[in-house]
Amino acid sequence: MAQSALIESKDGAGHGPASLDSVLGFHIRLAHGAVYRHFTETFATLGLTQKQVSTLWLVAEMPGIAQSELGNRLRMDRATAMSIVSRMQERDYLWRERCPSDGRKQLLHLTDAGKKALEEAKACIKEHERWLKSRFTSDEVKKLVEMLARIHE
């Protein structure tokens, strides 16, 4: 892999990476692609996406969470959150109720089928995490999580 060389100007200030191999975002994108492919393969039999699994998990952890809050916590826009919740409801994985104090809000709850799907998903996540973490030492995993959090928080 190429070193992180910068193209130097006459005043010594770097203009940017001299090679694609030195672009951090490029490596993050490649890593994301590898993780996503493995996730998709691991979850193929369940027919669930990452966002759908995250939705089930968050609703299980926070029964009665408002659909708008779910979208905020999972960093999804309103339309995406509504679409995912609708799909999960069609599959009988969750149900909605109107908030008694604010009729505009939809509160979310898992059905028994949703709880079962989440348990199956957690088994797949365990396999997926084992695959991912096998590439690092436990100290590296901890440090990687800390570094990635600095990007997404």
Nearest in space to 67 (alpha carbons), one of 96, 102, 33, 35: 96
Decide if 62 is inside a domain.
yes
Summarised one tens digit per residue, pLDDT across range 27-49 is 999 999 999 999 999 988 999 99
Q: What percent of the chain has pLDDT over 90?
A: 75
Residue bearing the bigger pLDDT, 43 or 110: 110
Decide if 140 is inside a domain.
yes
Residue 15 pLDDT grade (very low, low, confident, very high; cuts 50, 70, 90): low
Decide if 41 is inside a domain.
no
Q: Give the Å distances, CA to CA, from 47 to 53, 87, 91, 102.
A: 10, 12, 11, 34
Decide if 42 is inside a domain.
no
- pLDDT value for 7: 42
Which domain, by its residues, includes 78?
48-152
- Domain tally for the chain? 1
Q: How many CB atoms lie within 10 A of CB 41?
A: 12
Residue 1 reports pLDDT greater than 90: no
- Residue 145's domain is classified under what CATH number? 1.10.10.10
Decide if 60 is inside a domain.
yes
Specify whether the CB–CB gap between 58 and 68 falls below 8 A: no
Q: Residue 122 and residue 70: Cα distance in Å, rounded?
A: 19
Decide if 32 is inside a domain.
no
Question: What is the overall mean pLDDT for the chain?
Answer: 89
In sequence order, which residues have a C-beta less than 8 Å from that of residue 28 and are 6 or more positions away?
Answer: 151
Mean pLDDT throughout 127-144?
Answer: 96
Summarised one tens digit per residue, pLDDT across range 72-84 is 999 999 999 999 9
Specify whether the CB–CB gap between 88 and 52 falls below 8 A: yes
